[in-house]
Amino acid sequence: MTREIQYRQALNEAMFEEMRRDPLVFTYGEGIAERGGSFRVTEGLLDEFGPMRVKDTPISESIIAGAAVGAAIVGTRPVAEILFVDFTALSMDQLVNQAAKYRFMVGGRGKVPMVLRTQGGSGKGLAAQHSQSLEAWFCHTPGLKVVMPSTAYDAKGLLKTAIRDDDPVIFIEHKLLYFTGGEVPEEEYTVPFGEADVKRTGSDVTIVAWSLMVHKALEAAEQLAAEGIEAEVVDPRTLVPLDINAICTSVRKTNRLVIVHEACKRGGFGGDIAARVMERAFDDLDAPIERVAGKNTPMPFNTELEQASIPQVQDIVTTCQRVCLGAKGAV
């Protein structure tokens, strides 16, 4: 049986189910206990599990991350929350130099089964320090897994998988997705890491997108279909591990690739995907790979400028038209 619930509710259900299943799972962060979190993801957990397993913390991201690393090493499964991905900058030593490297440094004799939940992206006029998309930082670091669900179904299934994983997982949610709805089964399920999902089938161009951009890609695909261009939308769901085989399989069918991400284009993860497709499927391409990405600028506070700084549906449509029809110009 399925029902429609919000993305935030799906995450909340995952937390309840995993904390009931495993007494070693606990969660903490800024305002996540009594207040239930800024996006209501941890609502109700304190009432059922108590203050030993659901804790509010001081405003110190370095302590939040460092405590998670230590707690995971000694055998628990912490789910730590840093409210804005922007502030993970304050915890990069703990995440990049400790969590990511511990298993390697001890020759596989230890593990760090922690999840860092955080949210990123723009769309609320929160300006340059609260609106970034920083997934490429973490993808660059061996030892970290990076998850970016786009739907309520994926959010719940991937969070359950993340909590059960024995490696550190950076779980990035988009602030504009929390109150979107989607079908989620009532029965138990998980979504495996490293398996992309084809959100829409098509034959003319592959669009690879993740997080909020999946929804914009699907809207663009509907517009393109009205013009006779059938776009296939592939959602990687996890960037590390990345299901490059699924992406290449789609490219071999459509012979064209457009990559869409909200993060700025320079150094964005789309460049890595493009390079890996070129290495594996160059002979299958009938047009150059194109990226539709955020501008290389800090995010403006002004909402109109904010929208101009990130990909919009029309940008995706125009790029796909150019790739398929050979039109001149640039987005």
161-180 pLDDT, tens digit each: 999 999 999 999 999 999 99
Residue 130 lies in a domain: yes
Q: What is the CATH number of the domain that holds 160?
A: 3.40.50.970
Shared domain for 96 and 127, answered yes or no, is yes
CA distances from 314 to 222, 224, 318 (A): 12, 10, 6
Which residue in the list 81, 130, 135, 290 is annotated as catalytic? 130
Quick check: 238 pLDDT over 50? yes
* CB burial string 114-151: b at 16+ within 10 A, e below: bbbbbbbbbbebbeeebbbbbbbbbbebebbbbbbbbb
Question: 265 φ, ψ to 5°?
Answer: -65, -45
Domain that holds residue 14: 2-185
Quick check: 327 pLDDT over 60? no
Annotated active-site residue 61? The verdict is yes
Assess contact for 16 and 48: CB atoms under 8 A. Answer: yes
Q: What is the CATH number of the domain that holds 204?
A: 3.40.50.920
Residue 132 lies in a domain: yes
Determine which helix (DSSP H) or strand (DSSP E) holds 267, and give its type and residue range. Answer: none
User: Which residues, 6+ apart, have CB-to-CB distance to 320 below 8 Å?
Assistant: 205, 207, 220, 224, 229, 231, 258
Shared domain for 165 and 290, answered yes or no, is no
- Strands of the chain (E only): list them: 2-6, 25-29, 54-56, 77-84, 115-120, 145-147, 169-174, 181-185, 197-200, 205-209, 231-235, 238-240, 257-264, 290-294
Question: What confidence category does residue 331 fall into, taking pLDDT thresholds of 50, 70 and 90?
Answer: very low
Q: Which residue has the tokens 């669900």?
A: 149
Number of domains within the chain: 2
Assess contact for 141 and 104: CB atoms under 8 A. Answer: no
Quick check: 330 pLDDT over 50? no
For 12, the 3-state DSSP assignment is helix
For residue 272, the model assigns a pLDDT of: 98
Shared domain for 41 and 88, answered yes or no, is yes
Shared domain for 220 and 317, answered yes or no, is yes
Average pLDDT taken over every residue of the chain:
97
Annotated active-site residue 188? The verdict is no
Strand partners, 174: 120
Residue 194 in tokens: 């490293």
For residue 326, the model assigns a pLDDT of: 79
Which residue in the list 13, 18, 30, 61 is annotated as catalytic? 61
The candidate with the shortest Cα–Cα distance to 73, out of 25, 115, 23, 112, is 112
Quick check: 323 pLDDT over 50? yes
